[in-house]
Amino acid sequence: MSNTPKKRRNTPRYLTLSRLHFAGPHFEGYVRWLQARNYTKTTISMLTIYLGHWTDWMHGAGYGLSTIHSGYAASVPAFRAMPNYYMRLRSGALFVLFLEEQGIVDPLPKPPSPSERWPILGEFRDWMLRNRGVKDSSLDTYQNILVHLFLVLGDEPEAYSAHAIREFVLGRAGMHGLAHARMTVTATRAYLRFLIATGRCPAGRDQAIPNFAGWQLAAVPDFLNDADIARIVAACSGEARLRDRAVILFLVRLGLRASEVANLEFGHIDWRNGRIAIRGGKSRREEWLPLPQEVGEALLAYLDRGRPTLASPRVFVTAQNPMRPMSRFAVNCLVQAALDRAGIQSGRRGSHLLRHSAATAMLRHGVNLAGVGAVLRHRSLSTTMQYAKVDFALLREIAQPWAGEAAC
């Protein structure tokens, strides 16, 4: 008997190359492509199995390499009625992307981005970043509103009469709630001020936008009490959730924003002095915050036993393949999943709920408003004052009885 070791096959034993049809000649390259993107062996095995299902359907429906894009589009409604449809479609989408990157098929032309369709929108973003220091996340929100403005009024500033601007703002406000109406005012007014500053619009045109009534800091911020905070931290226990625990503690103990957690880098951590540098907040300054013992221990546990090997300066990375640094959106999704595991119901579901909870917890434990504002890095004490309203016990003590006659 020969002692020569058999060559290990990359194709799962229950998947034959003939079943892959037009994908068969490209299968080995596809597997190497997945491996290069840090997909695990288990995930690659599943994707290749479902690729067989997808190519079976494509072959039966008469699609091949030359018609792979239209075939994928046709497979979406057909597969939605099948079990595990997500993995079947994902396997097809990844294979199409592989073929495009390898130059085997031509990619579909991408629709122009808003800045490509309306170059003045790109100028506005650059101007706001350079002169106002507005964050990209805020400019993304502005962009959605301004795209609607361009569709309604066009992108020629000469068409922006006072009457047309008011009609646009009032019309859009009628389709949404108060918060969105006020954001429409903010975005439109910022764009008009950019036009005025660059000589494209008469001075004072921004005053044509109506304001919407609303008391400043009138609402009581949503927050979690101490028991709920303990529950959401406990919902991230175990070796499989070391990253989630560290992220939740950064949010609920230090009140960081989702983008600040996502952008945290190894170079921002000063282990010797027990502090971290926060960069990229609304103030655009580098600010140092103390690293509490509990948060530091959770971070060390994640880095020692939970973080996958990934050449990135960012601390937190995704838990699913392909591995990449976490985004602001991924941090918010992590918070929502933790709230669901803890069984916590709240009107607000994102990371800002934990930022509010951190602020109110500090107040409940004796930190004054100035101290809370320093940790949250508020530019104005008036912003921090909204949290004074959540100390209901203190409010009951200082509330004075009604001096007038009792209501009938």
Pull the structure tokens for residue 65. Answer: 């390499």
Pull the structure tokens for residue 99. Answer: 């073929």
282 is catalytic: yes
The secondary structure element, H or E, covering residue 288 is strand 287-290
Q: Residues 268, 328, 356, 378: which is the catalytic one? A: 378
Is-contact 91 72, C-beta < 8 A? no
Q: Which residue has the tokens 């936008």?
A: 209
Q: Residues 282, 348, 364, 377: which is the catalytic one? A: 282
Three-state secondary structure call for residue 353: helix
Is-contact 95 51, C-beta < 8 A? yes
Radius of gyration of the chain (CA): 27
378 is catalytic: yes
Q: Which residue has the tokens 């047309």?
A: 164
> In sequence order, what are the residues at sequence separation of 6 or more whose Cβ sits closer than 8 angstroms to the Cβ of residue 165?
153, 188, 192, 205, 208, 209
DSSP characters for 104-143? SSPPPPPPPPHHHH-HHHHHHHHHHHHHT---HHHHHHHH
The letter for the amino acid at 231 is R
Please give the torsion angle defined by the CA atoms of residues 374, 378, 379 and 383, in that order, rounded to the nearest 10 degrees: -120
Q: Residues 19, 21, 69, 352: which is the catalytic one? A: 352
257 is catalytic: yes
21 is catalytic: no
CA distances from 338 to 241, 243, 257, 262, 388 (A): 10, 12, 16, 17, 27
Q: Residues 88, 193, 257, 328: which is the catalytic one? A: 257
- Facing residues of 300 across strands? none
Residue 290 CA to residue 295 CA, distance in Å, equals 10
355 is catalytic: yes
Residue 243 CA to residue 250 CA, distance in Å, equals 11
Three-state secondary structure call for residue 276: strand
Residue 95 CA to residue 292 CA, distance in Å, equals 46
How big is the chain, counted in residues?
A: 408
Three-state secondary structure call for residue 351: helix
DSSP characters for 70-82? HHHHHHHHHHTTS
Q: Which residues are catalytic?
A: 257, 282, 352, 355, 378, 387
